Amino acid sequence: MVNNRGPIDTRLALTGKDGALYSDDGTMLATCETFQTQVNVTNAKYQPLGDAQEHEVFQSYGVTLSFTEIVITDERFMSEFFEGMTTGVMPSWNFQGVVYGRNGSEQRMNYRQCVPSGAIDLQNLTVGDLLKRAWSMFVNEPPELQKLLTA
């Protein structure tokens, strides 16, 4: 067999039920159906004289956090967001993303100074489906990796 790692123990594979999104005070945001954080890296291209190949050097990065919540009540996010639209001072939130491993280990990341960015659902209705609201945030501090998963 060429790939001897192929038949890895699939009982250890993790799914969405193995993770959660928490507010900064440790409250699980139980109405969140999905969450995702992404980093977008931007490089500057350069090409020295006499070199046919382009090169890149790190320039900047940006982190976004998005999540979809199931609408049960208008919790603090919606109230604070509407207050921000009224006053012109948008709220800033802190979050913790956690993935729990099968062996009791966990991967934990902190996201601080998250501000609304991009499209945010105010109302989103589909016949026959749960009411959901999508949020998009920009993370203004570098994410902090607190713990790593172990196998």
Place of tokens 């020295």: 48
Strands 132-139 and 55-70: antiparallel
Q: What is the dihedral of CA 103, 107, 108, 111, to 10 degrees?
A: -160
Q: What is the pLDDT along the chain (151 residues), one digit of tens a residue?
A: 676 665 667 777 888 888 999 998 888 988 889 999 999 999 999 999 999 999 999 999 999 999 999 888 767 789 999 999 999 999 999 999 999 988 889 999 999 999 999 999 999 888 988 889 999 999 999 999 999 988 6
DSSP E strands in the chain: the ranges are 19-23, 32-46, 55-70, 93-100, 106-116, 132-139, 144-147
- Say what the pLDDT of residue 6 is: 59
User: How remote is the C-alpha of 109 from its chain's centroid?
Assistant: 10
* 28 SS3 class: strand
| CA-based nearest residue to 66, from 139, 17, 125 | 139
> For residue 80, what pLDDT is reported?
93
pLDDT at res. 74 = 63
pTM confidence score: 0.85
Residues 6+ apart with CB under 8 A from 69: 29, 31, 32, 33, 75, 77, 132, 133, 135
Q: Tell me how crowded residue 149 is: count the other CB atoms within 10 A of its CB.
A: 15
> 55 in helix, strand or coil?
strand
